[in-house]
Amino acid sequence: MKPLAKRFWEKVRKTRKCWLWTAGTLKDGYGAFKMPTGTKHGKQCRAHRIAWELTYGEIPKDKQVLHQCDQPLCVRPAHLFLGTCAGNMADRNRKGRQWHPRGMLHGHSRFTLRVIRQIRRMARTHLQREVAEHFRTTQGVISRIVNYKAWAHVV
């Protein structure tokens, strides 16, 4: 088997600006690299974190690896820096990248806009527990939908 660093860097295409990950990606658009763990399947890791570790060493537990270039596929060490979760969110907000998948675009969504509206209509005349049974979910989920704690963007 090839050494880890060689296996990693051969999946990178270097451009004048960014070094782009060319192998698999995660749902959020970041590069994915499978690290050996001694098991059959290994562990899926974010490619930019592996690039940091190969170049600079271990990532402290309280830190995240952030991109100066805002390119999720970039693994160029010079474009990466360490920061906190709060710093990452502040950087995201400052740059106007506040979009998060909501509703049907969220990977764990089980409902459609039509169903959310049905749930809210039905909850006007039925107990939340009954609505939950009808839609095969929990009363807590129905409560969050009815009270606009979840799916708040759907009127």
Q: What average pLDDT does this structure show over 65-92?
A: 91
Q: What average pLDDT does this structure show over 62-73?
A: 91
Give the pLDDT of residue 137.
Answer: 92
Give the pLDDT of residue 16.
Answer: 92
Give the pLDDT of residue 51.
Answer: 97
Residue 73 falls within a domain, yes or no?
Answer: yes
State the Cα–Cα distance between residues 112 and 48, nearest whole angstrom: 34
State the Cα–Cα distance between residues 3 and 25, nearest whole angstrom: 21
Give the pLDDT of residue 135.
Answer: 94
Same domain, 45 and 87: yes
CA neighbor of 115 nearest in space, from 147, 142, 139: 142
Give the number of domains in the chain: 2
Query: 115: exposed, middle or buried (C-beta count within 10 Å: 0-12, 13-18, 19+)?
Result: middle
Residue 22 falls within a domain, yes or no?
Answer: yes
| Structural domain containing residue 16 | 4-94
Q: What average pLDDT does this structure show over 79-105?
A: 78
Instruction: Spell out a b/e string for 22-54, using b for 16 or more CB atoms within 10 Å of the CB, else e.
Output: eeeeeeeebbebeeeeeeeeeeebbbbbbbbbe
Q: The tokens of 123 are what?
A: 């909850």
Q: For the segment 5-18, what is each residue's pLDDT rounded down to a tens digit?
A: 999 999 999 999 99
CA angle 64, 65, 66 (to 5 degrees): 110
Residue 152 falls within a domain, yes or no?
Answer: no
Residue 87 falls within a domain, yes or no?
Answer: yes
Same domain, 88 and 15: yes
Is-contact 35 45, C-beta < 8 A? yes
Helix, coil or strand: residue 20: strand
Helix, strand, coil percentages (3-state) for the chain, rounded to 5, are 35, 15, 45
Check whether 115 has a pLDDT greater than 90: yes
pTM for the predicted model, two decimal places: 0.61
Residue 154 falls within a domain, yes or no?
Answer: no
Listed as own residue / partner, the contacts of 80-88 with beta carbons closer than 8 Å and 24 or more positions apart are 80/48, 80/51, 80/52, 82/52, 88/64
At which of 94, 115, 138 does a domain end?
94
Confidence of residue 32 (pLDDT cuts 50, 70, 90): very high
We report the CATH number of the domain holding residue 63 as: 3.90.75.20
